[in-house]
Amino acid sequence: MDESDLLSGYPAPVAVPAARVAAAHAGTGTVLVVLDDDPTGTQSVADLPVLTAWGEEDVAWALGLGAPAVYVLTNSRSLGPAEAGDLTREVVTAVLAAAERTGTRVRFVSRGDSTLRGHFPLETDVVASTVAGRGGRAVDALVLVPAFPEAGRITVGGVHLLRTPDGLLPVGESEFARDATFGYSSSDLRAWVAEKTGGRTRAEDVVVLDLALLRAGPAAVAAALAPLTGARTVVADAVGEDDLRLLALGLVEAEAAGKELLHRVGPPFVRARTGQEVRAPLSAAEVFRHGARPGGGLVVVGSHVGLTSRQLAALQADRPDVRSLVLDVPRLLGGGAEEHVREVAGEAAALLADGDVVLHTSRVLQRADDPAQSLAISRRVSAAVVATVRRVLAAHPPRFVVAKGGITSSDVAAHGLGIRRALVRGPLLPGIVSLWEPVGGPAAGTPYVVFAGNVGDDGSLAAVVRTLSAAPAR
């Protein structure tokens, strides 16, 4: 499918300065609290706090920074439905308590995957019911914005598409739609909503804010939302940042007119909604502004999507000096897992004294026919990865850590490195790879890179490691 042919029937993009959206958002006096179902949602933003824990003191710290948005990493994509629902309820309750204590007005955003994997509609249902249960207003409209143009995910006419070298591919025909836990068949988001809600929401009842309406301006968006009540589902088109900014202005206008909106979004929505500029990738000097530790960095690869495996191979070809260590998944799932972890961690710590080390799981994906069993396998493997990283950190703190894969990134951050609070410094590649600066804890001083499994091209992982390895040791 040719993108230019598809877009030829729509109005041209409308330029929107980020400052205009930032002013509109500031005028609401609201902090967006983003419940991120894995840590890769921060890849499009900069200079925002992120939490992996939601004790009242942690949330109050983040709200007290005066940032336009706060991320809370739930990592719920790694959980089963019941656990994900309970966790979402717990986080929303904690945030509302901290907001009341600090006198902060908050709105919730549910950040999901731009390739449509995750617990939908469960998480948005729980957010809405928990807020209402604590005296908040009922949701008038649920707005779905999965587009992530930098990563090649766009929505046109309500249909979600992936940019590929051969043209546009409907997402329902991609490898992501065959996910063992969150698979689906529909590319038209109206049909996808009906599929995921089990028919609770009919496809014909989903409202589409298409490019023609978006590019007519914020007032047109607000007018389309004005009559909606009862948590009506809305799908928004977007093929670029200006489309997302127009949408943001329309949402602010609708909320100012009294609409209560809840959002399920891809990564760049928060940047557009708060009026952040698209930040240039960080340089090595910016990453290591206080100097780099001696020795090498640690690259942890857990994702098994085809793109990640190609990126790993490209890194190994680009940097033959980097030592690669394998956590053997069959051994981790069988006997001797603890001994295997101890051996690999010891070897990694020794090698870090002289250079960079790649730690990756064996590339043959272990899965089961039952989605819950597949998720359980993933969690066991991730626990072994985390235990290995924890041992390495204690023995030889790396100059940096890169974690590849959503679940891997979350578990390494929260459990391997012990990060509770961090600041998102910005991207290492344009809009798709996030660098965190841990605040306190055992990982303080260790730049942490969150790299989704499904973004970039074959050379992206090598490019990130090349940048991080360039800074001289202090």
Beta strands in 26-158 (DSSP E): 30-36, 48-51, 69-73, 105-111, 141-145, 153-156
| pLDDT of amino acid 369 | 61
Residue 63 vs residues 32, 104, 128, 131, 466: alpha-carbon distances, Å: 10, 7, 21, 18, 35
Please tell me the distance from the alpha carbon of residue 170 to that of residue 277, in angstroms, as a whole number: 29
pTM of the entire predicted model: 0.91
Q: What tens-digit pLDDT sequence spans the chain (474 residues)?
A: 899 999 999 999 999 999 999 999 999 999 999 999 988 889 899 999 999 999 999 999 999 999 999 999 998 988 899 999 999 999 999 999 999 999 999 999 999 999 999 999 999 999 999 999 999 999 999 999 999 999 899 999 999 999 999 999 999 999 999 998 899 999 999 999 999 999 999 999 999 999 999 999 999 999 999 999 999 999 999 999 999 999 999 999 999 999 999 999 999 999 999 999 999 999 999 999 888 888 999 999 987 778 888 999 999 999 999 999 999 888 888 878 899 999 999 999 999 999 999 998 886 655 556 777 777 777 788 889 999 999 999 999 999 999 998 878 888 999 999 999 999 999 999 988 999 999 999 999 999 999 988 888 999 999 999 999 987 776
Distance set, CA 424 to CA 42, 172, 210, 267, 323 (Å): 7, 32, 32, 13, 29
Amino acid making up residue 196: K
Largest pairwise CA distance in the chain: 64
| Cis status of the peptide bond prior to 430, with omega within 30 of 0 | no
Measured between alpha carbons, how far is 298 from 260 in angstroms, rounded to an integer?
44
CA distance 180 to 370: 8
At residue 180, the pLDDT reads 84
Burial of 385 (0-12, 13-18, 19+ CB in 10 A): buried
Angle, to 10 degrees, between the axis of helix 56-63 and the axis of helix 81-102? Answer: 60
298 and 359 Cβ atoms separated by less than 8 Å? yes
Amino acid at 435: L
Q: Under a CB-based contact definition with an 8 Å cutoff, are residues 464 and 449 in contact?
A: yes
Full set of structural domains in the chain with CATH = 3-274 (3.40.50.10840), 284-469 (3.40.980.20)
